[in-house]
Amino acid sequence: MRITPFRILFLSGFLVTLAPTGALANGEAHQLAGSDGVRADTHAPIGVMADHMHEAGEWMLSYRFMRMEMEGNRQGHNRISPEEIVTSESNPHDALDELRVVPTEMTMDMHMLGLMYGVSDDVTLMFMLPYLENRMEHITFQGGSGTDQLGTFTTRSSGFGDASVTGMFRIFTDDTHHLHWQAGLSLPTGSNTEEDTVLTPMDERVTLRLPYPMQLGSGTFDFNGGISYLATGERLGWGAQYLATLRTGRNAQGYTLGDQHAFSGWLSWRWVPPLSTSLRLEYSHRGNIRGSDPEITAPVQTADPNRQERELLQWHVGVNWAGQGALAGHRLAVEYGRPLLENVSGPQMSVDETATLGYQYSW
């Protein structure tokens, strides 16, 4: 199913219809003095994780469904066709050959389970476990050169990704501003030896180890860290977050994924205490892979460790709803995004759109 603005607007309208406006509530979130209920904008947009903390003894369970859809290919900033790729891009695994397989579409679904616990008013622990479902469509071109299409095929991978454990530590808070830093560890619980059947340029169906974007985990223990700021005025809210994932060592297959850095800044508007909308800008950078897996050698760009670097600037719109009265402690939120600028060490697939739907419950 394609993500479309219509579907996101439908979900947003559904959230609006759920929002009662009158009851006072105790809840998981920081409340402003004089407010008339738990405010939706005391959490960041749902696409931002580790954005808030909890009081001592408080728990929160969360579920997020995140989808990214990619379509077509880019070289640097510019679009590039499959025919251009197979006539101009060399195969890193054979200096005398060109790329002969081109990915055309990819869907990445992530089901993220999260658990947070307030160790004290100044320290919160968070555990995250993702379940991933990847699908990629390809065109195979015939033989060692030329633009004659042989056929198409689809590869899939699914399973648990890398779990993470993170600590969040309060720096400052008052009735308007909240600032904390976070540090954690990503655990290599996701597989990086996924296989599937592919169509080769020699018109054979063989089972191979899938290229790097289709693998589920890093295979290494990685450091996560960053800093988050959130502020809520009378109706206007704002915030920013920087997060980094720093890779360590090489995995058993002989490579290290590239480091990742992401910065988000957002504005939100509270219509009534239970309901807010948001606009967010997000910049992210992912580095190339260091080393390589000797089992990943297909004549496709996704099998090249040096064609993985990406810079991406996206906009996102979102809706947050916070339960009141008998529904206190429950939250629903949705966010939809599209790219503004994209630069890749290509050719690489181009990001088309992203969406996140989330539910949170605290007690």
Summarize pLDDT for 63-86 with one digit per residue, the tens.
999 999 999 999 999 999 999 999
Same domain as 117, residue 250: no
Same domain flag for 99 and 149: yes
**pLDDT above 60 for 22:** no
Decide: 299 and 198 in contact? Cβ < 8 Å: no
Q: How many domains does the chain have?
A: 2
Mean pLDDT over 235-264 rounds to: 97
Whether residues 213 and 223 fall in one domain: no
Specify if 22 maps to a domain.
no
Is 206 in the same domain as 263?
A: no
Tell me, yes or no, whether 122 lies in a domain. yes
| Residue 156 is assigned to a structural domain of this protein | yes
Tell whether 233 is covered by a domain. Answer: yes
Task: Please indicate, yes or no, whether residues 111 and 234 belong to a single structural domain of this protein.
Answer: no
**Which domain does 248 fall in, by range?**
219-272
Same domain, 111 and 202: yes
Confidence of residue 11 (pLDDT cuts 50, 70, 90): low
Q: Does 257 reside within a domain?
A: yes
Per the domain annotation, does 280 fall within a domain?
no
Is 148 in the same domain as 235? no
How many Cα atoms within 13 Å fall on the side-chain side of residue 180? Answer: 22
pLDDT at site 29: 38
Mean pLDDT of the chain: 91
307 domain-assigned = no
Same domain, 70 and 212: yes
How far is residue 238's CA from residue 116's CA, in Å, rounded to a whole number? 23
pTM of the entire predicted model: 0.89
157 and 248 belong to one structural domain? no
Give the three-class secondary structure for 86. helix
Instruction: Decide which of 217, 233, 250 is a domain's last residue.
Output: 217
Q: Is the confidence at residue 256, as pLDDT, over 60?
A: yes
Contacts of 8 (CB under 8 A, 6+ apart): 317, 334, 336, 355
Question: How many beta carbons lie within 10 A of that of residue 194, not counting itself?
Answer: 19
Rounded Cα gap, residues 88 and 124, in angstroms: 52
Q: Residue 26 pLDDT > 80, yes or no?
A: no
- One domain, residues 104 and 209: yes
List CB contacts of 143: < 8 A, sequence separation 6 or more. Answer: 100, 201, 202
Residue 244: CA count within 13 A, CB half-sphere? 11
In whole angstroms, what is the distance from residue 263 CA to residue 282 CA?
6
Q: Same structural domain for residues 258 and 234?
A: yes
Whether 13 shows a pLDDT value over 90: the answer reads no
| Contact of 70 with 61, CB cutoff 8 Å | no
- 250 neighbors 256 (Cβ within 8 angstroms): yes
| 321 domain residue, yes or no | no
Instruction: Kindly state whether residues 153 and 238 are assigned to the same domain.
Output: no
